Amino acid sequence: MLNYNKVLIAGRLTSNPELKNTESGKAVCSFDIAYNRDKNTAYYFTCVAWEAKAEFVKTHFAKGSPIFVEGELTQRKWKDNNGNNRSVIEIRVTEVKFVETLEERNAREGEGVPMGEVNPEPFVEVGIDDLPF
């Protein structure tokens, strides 16, 4: 029997990530990602990151941020206040990556970088004999 559980998703955060600590002191961060399948269809996924990844998400991402997440599907079960059985399927995050550059993020957030502060790499003219192939 083959068992394989891996999720890769890129989308935008629908709200600010929520960072909490468990009773044992472990950081846990939950956040929702919206994935737009097409113009008229969006899917929403709840993600849970632990410890260093939880703190990373809380520090570097906010509502509207594009994000790439790798993880696995997990099911959490509990009884609600009325004694009813409840469950939810979540993505347990194993990797988080940026989808945009810092300049793109600043532009999206309306914090453009003044041109005097941008230090592009200088242009260097290369001759055909300088190419490594």
Q: Which conformational region is residue 115 in: left (phi greater than 0), alpha (psi within -120 to 50 degrees), or beta?
A: alpha
Domain ranges of the chain: 7-107
Per-residue pLDDT averaged across 108-133, rounded?
52
CA distance linking residue 50 with residue 29, whole number of Å: 6
Per-residue pLDDT averaged across 66-86, rounded?
95
| CATH (one of 2.40.50.140, 3.20.20.10, 2.40.10.10, 3.40.50.970) for 7-107 | 2.40.50.140
Residue-wise pLDDT tens digits, 10-68:
999 999 999 999 999 999 999 999 999 888 999 999 999 999 999 999 999 999 999 99
Q: How many CB atoms lie within 10 A of CB 53?
A: 19
- Please tell me whether the overall predicted TM-score, pTM, comes out greater than 0.85 for this model: no
